[in-house]
Amino acid sequence: TGVSGGAVAVIAGVVAITVFLVSAPVIICVLRRNRKRQHLSFNRSAKRPEFHLGQLKWFSLRELQEATEFFSEKNVVGSGGSGRVYKGRLDDGSVVAIKRLKQRRTQGGLQQFQTEVEMVSMAVHRNLLRLRGFCLTPTERLLVYPFMLNGSVRSCLRERPESQAPLDWGVRKRIALGAARGLEYLHDHCNPKIIHRDLKAADILLDENFDAVVGGFGLAKLMDYKDTHVITAVRGTIGHIAPEYLSSGRASEKTDVFGYGIMLLELITGQKAVDIARLANDDDVIVEIIIFLLHLVGQKQDASCNYIKFKYSLETVMSGFLVSHFSFNLVAMLTFQVEGLLKEKKLETLVDSDLQGNYIEEEVEQLMQVALLCTQSTPMGRPKMGEVVRMVEGDGLAERWEDWQKRKMFHQEFNNTHHPNVKWFIPDSTSRILPDELSGPR
């Protein structure tokens, strides 16, 4: 009996080991597959999710409702196509900015939320807005960020109360460098790399030390390193959209470089992108706009121009139809006039009057040169953000600027020789872009 009992034990052990060896790989494969399938998963029977993206905190909806006084209008500090931003105070006393995303009937709303959570949690840099946590319910999607005490570049330039001192030149130069470093990190140190696509002054936030923090990732696009560009619906802010993105929907790192250049011009001048051209000569700008409107009238009808047609053309432009044409030419005119004033050494015309002459002319000229290099019409001509950082730091700018001037002179001489009668050009490739595509989620 003892022998037979031992044999049974041996057989049972062998069977158990065999079953384990056969089933273990299957179990491991299933676990790995489930882990890869979802970045953000939660147990529907539980109150909180099993979150697998770093150390981000899950906030309850009740907690964020109480922090914002149930999303009171008086706590709204910003809004855009993707939702509103509220100022809130948590139970621990910390002040936060809570982005309440709009609810959408399509799957895009959830995808947008997941993309933004993944993206912002991966991008960790002193000049990038850090995501503190989130809230996800069947009816709400919210993101929680640290609150930036000094607002944004836009608010400091154009919405500043009289009691607040203007940004001095040293702070503006530091902002330019910090924003460049933040974008460089998105492009060169994130895998996949991140394209912002809608960089503007309102997206450059300022912390308690007035250091730049790049935010506004609602439009950002993840991009594999092997890709040179991505094709998307055109979304962005008029005056900041790169020509190639406007005309073809092709976004790349150079799209952000263009937006940075426009932001840099705004930082120096204190003006909106669409207003900077007026610094040169108001009459010239009005004439250019009239020429553009007359061109539209000529496209619509062959009859002579009259008040009704002019009014119709003006309403057409303002409503967004063919607004891409108008934006393209306005930005080209802006950079042309800024470069002219720079060559004529009329810095006092360009620099923000709030500075009251308290700036270093050589540094202003250098940052203007960086801005113009970044806003070239072709993406190939623009520097990468890594180069921009070095140029803002004072390394390699003179050589790059001189090379660009030589190339411009060559192209100008070539065009004058071979195309002497070409005076005005309006691209046709964006005539079907609708206004809601241009002003999509921000």
Two structure tokens written together for 347 = 């810095």
DSSP, res 334: H
> Strand, coil or helix: what is 99?
strand
Cα–Cα distance measured from residue 272 to residue 422, given in angstroms and rounded to the nearest whole number: 30
Two structure tokens written together for 232 = 């998307």
**Per this entry, what is the length of the chain?**
442
- Of 50, 25, 20, 26, residue with least CA distance to 38: 50
Residues near 228 by Cβ (< 8 Å), separated by ≥ 6? Answer: 252
In this structure, are residues 411 and 297 in contact, taking their beta carbons and an 8 Å threshold?
no
Kind and range of the H or E element at 4?
Answer: helix 2-37
Question: Given its phi and psi angles, is residue 206 left (phi above 0), alpha (psi -120 to 50 degrees) or beta?
Answer: beta
- Residue 283 among the catalytic residues: no
Residues near 294 by Cβ (< 8 Å), separated by ≥ 6? Answer: 305, 310, 313
Q: Rg of the chain over CA atoms, in angstroms?
A: 27
99 marked among binding-site residues: yes
> Strand, coil or helix: what is 435?
helix
Cα–Cα distance measured from residue 126 to residue 119, given in angstroms and rounded to the nearest whole number: 16
* Residues forming a β-bridge with 128: 214
For residue 247, the tally of other CB atoms under 10 A from its CB is 19
User: What is the residue-wise DSSP string for 220-236?
Assistant: -EEE-TT-S-EE----S
DSSP, res 368: H
User: What is the residue-wise DSSP string for 345-360?
Assistant: T-HHHHS-GGGTT-S-
Give the chain's count of helices (H) and strands (E): 16, 14
Q: How far is CA 263 from CA 107, 120, 201, in A?
A: 33, 22, 6
Two structure tokens written together for 38 = 């979802």
* Residues forming a β-bridge with 76: 86
Q: Which of these is catalytic: 91, 92, 198, 203?
A: 198
Cα–Cα distance measured from residue 421 to residue 410, given in angstroms and rounded to the nearest whole number: 18
Q: Active-site positions?
A: 198
**Known binding site for ATP: residues?**
99
